[in-house]
Amino acid sequence: MTQVSITVDGTKYTDDVEPRTLLVQHLRQAIGKTGTLVGCDTTNCGACTVHLDGVSVKSCTVLAVQADGHEVLTVEGLADGGELHPVQRAFHESHALQCGYCTPGMIMQSIALLQENPNPTEDEIRNGLEGNLCRCTGYQNIVKAVQQAAGSVAAGTGAAE
């Protein structure tokens, strides 16, 4: 067991973990951040996407020990009080989710995409989300949501960042 201290959504959590524990397992099982989901075992689906020190990562490919001393932002830390993050709001308004399983990862990846490129073209959005699979929406409304959120994200990013 190794002790790790990780700040998740603004709160510091110190726990003992097995060295092989994945960050996503640690978030879900130890910290209770079940908003972040697991969809595969080959790093293909992106359901587990979170931000590690402001950069989007697939938390199934990061070990909890690698996150020791770092800051993690999950979908649960996005809304500022009652106020949804612009990307969350855009996903709702554009009907960019159906079952919702890909949604936390999609939202986190979309935010990262917009932070890097505040005014992406449709192609840039599609390529930027290539690592996140959705089986429900056919992606059209996800692309639309990212387009809608573009600009507003540049103006004010997630409060916890």
Partner 1 sequence: MTTTEARPSTPEKEVGKARTRKEDQRLITGRSRYTDSISLTGMLHLAMVRSPFAHARITGIDVGAAKAADGVIAVLTGADLADTQGSLPNAWPIVPEQKAPAHPSIAVDTVNFAGEVVAAVVARTPQAARDAAELVDVDYDELAPVLDLAEAATDATVIHPDLGTNVSAHFVFDSAQAGTGGDVDAAIEQTRADGGVVVERTLRQNRLIPAFMEPRSWVCDPTGDQIVLYAATQIPHVLRVLLALTLGISESKLRIIAPDVGGGFGGKLQVNPEEVITLLAATRLGKPVKYTETRSESMVAAHHGRDQIQKLTMSATRDGKITGFKVQLLADMGAYLAVLGGGVPALGAFMFNAIYKIPAYQFDLTTVFTNKTWTDAYRGAGRPEATFGVERMLDELAAELAMEPLELRQLNWIKHEEFPFTTVSGLQYDSGNYEAATAKAKELFGYDELRAEQQRRRESGDPVQLGIGISTFTEMCGLAPSRILGALAYAAGGWEAASIRMLPTGKVEVVTGSTPHGQGHETAWSQIVADQLGVPFEDIEVLHGDTQIAPKGMDTYGSRSLVVGGQAVINAAQKVIEKAKPLAAHLLEASADDLEFAGGKFTVKGTDTSISMPELAFAAFAAHNLPDGMEPSLDSEATFDPVTFSFPHGTHLAAMEVDTETGMVKLRKYVCVDDIGNVVNPLIAEGQVHGGLAQGIAQAMFEDAVFDEQGTLVSGSFVDYLVPSAADLPHFDTAMTTTPSTTNTLGVKGVGEAGTIASTPAIVNGAIDAVRHLGVADLPMPLSPWAVWRALQGATPASGSAAAAGTGLGGNDPGGTESARMGAGGVADGRDSASDKTEGDRA
Tokens of 57: 């990562």
Residues that bind partner 1 (CB under 8 A): 18, 20, 28-29, 33-42, 44-45, 47, 74-76, 78-79, 84, 88, 91-93, 95, 97-104, 107, 122, 125-127, 129-143
CA separation, residue 108 to residues 4, 16, 20, 48, 49 (Å)? 23, 27, 24, 9, 6
Q: Tell me whether residue 139 or residue 159 sits nearer to ligand FES (CB atom).
A: 139
Q: For residues 44 and 35, what is the distance between their CA atoms, to the nearest angstrom? A: 19
Residue 121 CB, shortest distance to partner 1, in Å, is 12
Residue 97 CB, shortest distance to ligand FES, in Å, is 5
Residues that bind ligand FES (CB under 6 A): 38-40, 43-48, 58, 60, 97-103, 134-137
Chain centroid to CA 143:
16
Q: For residues 59 and 56, what is the distance between their CA atoms, to the nearest angstrom? A: 9
Given ligand FES, partner 1, none, residue 88, with its beta carbon under 5 to 8 Å by kind, binds partner 1
